[in-house]
Amino acid sequence: MSYRIISLDIDGTLTNSEKIITEKTRDYLIEFQENGGKIILASGRPTMGIMPHAKTLKMDEYGGYILAYNGGSVINCKNNEIIFQQKLPLSVVPEICEIISDYPVGINTYQGTDIVVGNNINKYTELEARINGMGIKYVEDFPKYIDFDINKCLIQGEPEDILKLEKILSEKYGDRLGIFKSEAFFLEIVPHGIDKAESIDRLLKLIGIKTEECIACGDGFNDISMIRYAGLGVAMSNAKQPVKEAADYITLSNDEDGIAHLLKKLKKYQAIPHRRRTSFA
């Protein structure tokens, strides 16, 4: 099997613990593109938080794709065209803010170069801003301020609070919204039906690439759907256990150039036979 496209989660997958794409990983991915392959960066991050990595990989030159907000917005890096997007209904924002008001959590969305935050600012809010290279703009009345189109909201807080809110919000909005953890301290709220696999499938059909020609690599809960969807699903060795169980192969960790290791193996053997939950030697 010849793989024509690779979908990569960013944090914990493409980047190391310092949030950097190493030179080795970058070089292998650029070589993959030089040989006709395409890259998808599929992340819960906002577009602005993905763009610097797309530029590092020269995706504007080779024509890769960004799946921001877990696939809520898909962008062609060649021309910055939004191929498709889905918006979060603003009517649910006041209700959600009322539910979380008794918890020491923050809620945010994105506007330009800022993360717009309501309810509370905590260390996880600051982490989200730092990861994406964006500023924090706190607003007293979050629902009133959000009068523009948004692709998602993110609730940040201690894992025990996030777990409680995941249950409460899923029971109330499970048939209308996508609600899931991307980390133990991050609760994603996106339009119904939005996840990485759905958006990758839509993109591949649009550009004429088959599912079996796609590789998907990740480490987090929100990567499971695309790992199961792809022709070759790959988990990092630093991935959560359910992610590893969903994968065809487990590569090295993000701090050991796991993506470069994968591409080296593919280059050597052309194709790797599908055997679930097998590590690379």
pLDDT tens digits, one per residue of 40-75: 999 999 999 999 999 999 999 999 999 999 999 999
Q: Which helix (H) or strand (E) holds 273?
A: none
Q: Which helix (H) or strand (E) holds 254?
A: none
> For residue 275, what is the domain's CATH number?
3.40.50.1000
What one-character-per-residue DSSP string does 110-166 give?
A: EETTEEEEES---HHHHHHHHHHT-EEEE-S-HHHH--S--S-EEEE--HHHHHHHH
How would residue 23 be classed by pLDDT, with cut points 50, 70 and 90?
Answer: very high
User: Is 232 in the same domain as 161?
Assistant: no
Domain that holds residue 144: 92-191
User: Is 36 in the same domain as 103?
Assistant: no
Q: Is the predicted pLDDT of residue 5 greater than 50, yes or no?
A: yes
Q: Say how far apart CA 81 and CA 99 lie, in whole Å.
A: 36
Return the pLDDT at 1: 63
Mean pLDDT of the chain: 93
Return the pLDDT at 268: 65
The residue from 126, 160, 191 where one domain ends is 191
Return the pLDDT at 269: 53
Q: Which helix (H) or strand (E) holds 47?
A: helix 47-56
- Contact indicator for 275, 6 with CB cutoff of 8 Å: no
Q: Say how far apart CA 128 and CA 86 lie, in whole Å.
A: 22
Instruction: Name beta bridge partners: 110.
Output: 115
Which of 67, 19, 47 shows the shortest CA–CA distance to 225? 67
How confident is the model over 253-266, as pLDDT tens digits? 999 999 999 999 99
Return the pLDDT at 193: 85
Q: Is the predicted pLDDT of residue 153 greater than 70, yes or no?
A: yes
Using the 8-state DSSP alphabet, how is residue 181 labeled?
Answer: E
How would residue 206 be classed by pLDDT, with cut points 50, 70 and 90?
Answer: very high
Q: Is the predicted pLDDT of residue 276 greater than 60, yes or no?
A: no
% of the chain with per-residue pLDDT over 70: 95
User: Is 133 in the same domain as 224?
Assistant: no
Return the pLDDT at 279: 41
At 139, phi and psi to the nearest 5? -125, 140
Question: What does the pLDDT average to over 231-236?
Answer: 97
User: Is 103 in the same domain as 133?
Assistant: yes
Name the domain count of the chain: 2
Please report how many Cα atoms fall inside a 13 Å half-sphere around the Cα of residue 147, on the Cβ side.
4
The residue from 191, 214, 247 where one domain ends is 191
- pTM, entire model: 0.85
